[in-house]
Amino acid sequence: MTMIVRNLQHVRDRITTACVAAGRNPASVRLLAVSKTFGVDAVIDAMSDGQRAFGENYIQEGVEKILAVRAWETDGLPGAIPSQWHCIGPVQSNKTRLVAESFDWVQSVDRLKIAQRLSEQRPPDLPPLQVCLQVNIDGGPTKSGVAPQEALALAAEVARLPRLQLRGLMSIPEIAPDFIAACAVHQRAADLFDQINRAGVLPQAMDTLSMGMTADLEAAIHAGSTMVRVGTAIFGGR
């Protein structure tokens, strides 16, 4: 058993334990393995233990990795569930075509202009690009994301774009000093998620609340996260 496989199993145990403590079904939380800065071999190692969803912060690195892994899948993993790739880093206007053509999900949409370009540049032979709005839930000065008070209006606009499917919200709050504080800030994102769904402006309800990383996944799950993004606890330090 490799280190990555052992780490994956430990993270899955953490998710299960957190769900049980919160009175939730462990199947309600998906694990996104954040593979940025790690090579194709590390991704394939994780895939050998059943992991299929991967997150990349750096677009060019991510695209190169996606192409390499998909070539390996074609040759070495026939008939298996294919990998799924999430862009979780900032998307600049000059990179939207690369993202639209290569990724399955984009979790870091925070401006209508970026969403429009992704919609226009998504190839017609691919399924709609799955997107989340990144929300700067705690107003962190170094964090990207739409302000919470502007999220409903942006969600309504993005949901109307033809080659995108709005799936939910993503947040990356500042590190909290303790579990209670972390739960509180994640709860704010969960409340905003519910508020947007209740507003009646979307053609279909959002189903994805992407929050929680290595250090705070338990707090995020307690608050209602449906997807945790874990890198260090799986692949090691960068």
Task: Give the pLDDT of residue 1.
Answer: 84
* Whole-number Å distance between alpha carbons of 145 and 1: 39
Q: What is the CATH number of the domain that holds 33?
A: 3.20.20.10
Whether residue 77 is predicted with pLDDT greater than 80 in this model: the reply is no
Whether residue 226 is predicted with pLDDT greater than 80 in this model: the reply is yes
Whether residue 84 is predicted with pLDDT greater than 90 in this model: the reply is yes
Task: Give the pLDDT of residue 79.
Answer: 58
- CA 89 to chain CA centroid, nearest Å: 10
DSSP annotation string for 37-71: T--HHHHHHHHTTT--EEEESSHHHHHHHHHHHHH
Whether residue 102 is predicted with pLDDT greater than 80 in this model: the reply is yes
Whether residue 78 is predicted with pLDDT greater than 60 in this model: the reply is no
Per-residue pLDDT, averaged over 108-114, amounts to 98
Residues forming beta bridges with residue 168, ordered by sequence position: 132, 208
The share of the chain scoring above pLDDT 90, in percent, equals 91
- Please state the domain count of the chain: 1
177-181 own/partner pairs: CB under 8 Å, 24+ apart? 179/218, 179/219
Whether residue 177 is predicted with pLDDT greater than 90 in this model: the reply is yes
- Taking only the tens place, the pLDDT of each residue in 38-69 is 999 999 999 999 999 999 999 999 999 999 99
What residues make up the domain containing 13? 3-235
- Taking only the tens place, the pLDDT of each residue in 144-172 is 899 999 999 999 999 999 999 999 999 99
